[in-house]
Amino acid sequence: MAESDKVFAGSIPKFYDTLMVPRAPEAYAANLAELVAASSPGSVLETAAGSGVVTRALAPKLSADARYVVTDLNQPMLDYAASRQGFDSRIEWRQADALDLPFEDASFDVVCCQFGVMFFPDRVAGYAEARRVLTPGGRFVFNVWDRIEENAFADDVTKAVAAVFAHDPPRFLARTPHGYHDVALIREELSRAGFADIRIETREEVSRAPSARDAATAYCHGTPLRNEIEARDASMLRLATDRATQAIASRHGEGPVAGKIQAHVIVAAV
Ligand SMILES: C[S@@+](CC[C@H](N)C(=O)[O-])C[C@H]1O[C@@H](n2cnc3c(N)ncnc32)[C@H](O)[C@@H]1O
C-alpha cells in the first residue's frame, strides 16, 4: 500500500461523505449496523469509521445505556463524522490506529469496521488487536470490497485514469479498497489472529448516481485516488475526471447511472 492511500484529509472528508458515501458505502452500512445490533451489545468499538455512515446507521439501534466508541486514524474524518452526528452522550469520538488501540483488553462486546481493513498495513496484527479488546464471546463485524471487476464504476474509473497516465497509472482503487477480496485469505488471517467461528457472506448491491460525472467525481475527488493524480500532475485532475465521466457514460448512459457493486461481509467470533 502506498503511504498516500491512508490519507483522508484536506478536501477528501467532505467529498468522500457527500459524493462517495451515497454511491457505495451507504448501501452496506444498514446491513453492518443490523449485524452489530443483533446481539444487543452493551459496548461497541468502531474502527476506521471515516465520515460516520455506519455510526449514523448504528447509533439509533443501540440501547440507551450502550457505550459506543467511534475511532479513525485520520482526525479530519472523525471531525466531519462528529459534525454530522449531533450530540449523543453514548458516543465517544477518539482518534486511533486500529493496529494500536488505546483500550484495555476485553473492553467491547462488538468491534465493527466498514471498508477499513484493506487499509491496515498488517491485517493479522489488526485482527489480533480487535480480538484483544473483545470480551469472551465477542464478535468482530466488518466488510471488504470484492475484486474491482465486480464493482463497475471503480473499474471504469481506474481504466480511464490509467489511460491518462499511461506510463505510471494510478492504481489506488485496485490496489487498496479492492485489493483484499480473497475469502480464503481473509479466513486464514482471521484464524491466525485467534478467531474461531468465521462467517462470510458475499452481497451484491447497486450503486446509483444522478449522472456519470457525479460518479466519476466521487472516485476522482473523494478518495485518495485524488492524492495519486495530484502527485503526478495536479493540473490533470480535471482531465482525469472528464475521462472517467466519459468511460462511465459510455457504459451506463448519459442520464442517471446504475452499476453493480459487491462486497464480502464477515462476522468473526472469539
Ligand atoms: C474507505 S474509508 C471507510 C470509512 C467508513 N468506514 C465508511 O464506510 O465510509 C477507510 C477509512 O480507514 C481509515 N484508516 C486507514 N488506515 C487506518 C488505520 N490503520 N486505523 C484506523 N483507521 C484507518 C481512513 O482514515 C478512512 O477513514
Structure confidence by residue, pLDDT tens digits, 214-263: 999 999 999 999 999 999 999 999 999 999 999 999 999 999 999 999 99
> Which of left, alpha, beta for 115 (phi over 0: left; psi -120 to 50: alpha)?
left
Write out the three cell numbers for 21.
458515501
CB 25 within 8 A of CB 142: no
Q: Which residue reads 448504528 in cell numbers?
A: 58
Q: Please, which pLDDT band fits residue 2 given cuts at 50, 70 and 90?
A: confident
Residue 270 has pLDDT above 90, yes or no: no
Residue 86 has pLDDT above 90, yes or no: no
pLDDT at 90: 97
Looking at ligand 1, which atom is closest to the CA of residue 120?
A: 19
CB 47 within 8 A of CB 81: no
Write out the three cell numbers for 101.
488501540
Residue 5 has pLDDT above 90, yes or no: no
Residue to probe by mutation, ligand 1, list 74, 80, 123, 129, most atoms within 8 Å of CB: 74
Mean pLDDT of 137-154: 98
Write out the three cell numbers for 110.
462488538
Q: Is the CB of 24 under 6 A from ligand 1?
A: no
Using DSSP's 3-state secondary structure scheme, residue 202 falls into strand
pLDDT at 52: 97
pTM score, whole prediction: 0.95
C-alpha of residue 253 to centroid of ligand 1, in Å: 31
The set of residues, in sequence order, having a beta carbon less than 8 Å from that of 117 and lying 6+ positions away, is 48, 98, 123, 126, 127, 142, 144, 180
Q: Please, which pLDDT band fits residue 198 given cuts at 50, 70 and 90?
A: very high
Residue 15 has pLDDT above 90, yes or no: no
Question: Which of residues 41 and 2 earns the better pLDDT score?
Answer: 41
Mean pLDDT of 139-161: 98
Q: Is the CB of 21 under 6 A from ligand 1?
A: yes
Mean pLDDT of 74-98: 95
Q: Is the CB of 172 under 6 A from ligand 1?
A: no
Q: Whose CA is nearest to atom 27 of ligand 1?
A: 50
Residue to probe by mutation, ligand 1, list 119, 227, 261, most atoms within 8 Å of CB: 119
Nearest to 101 by CA among 73, 82, 140: 73
Q: Please, which pLDDT band fits residue 6 given cuts at 50, 70 and 90?
A: confident
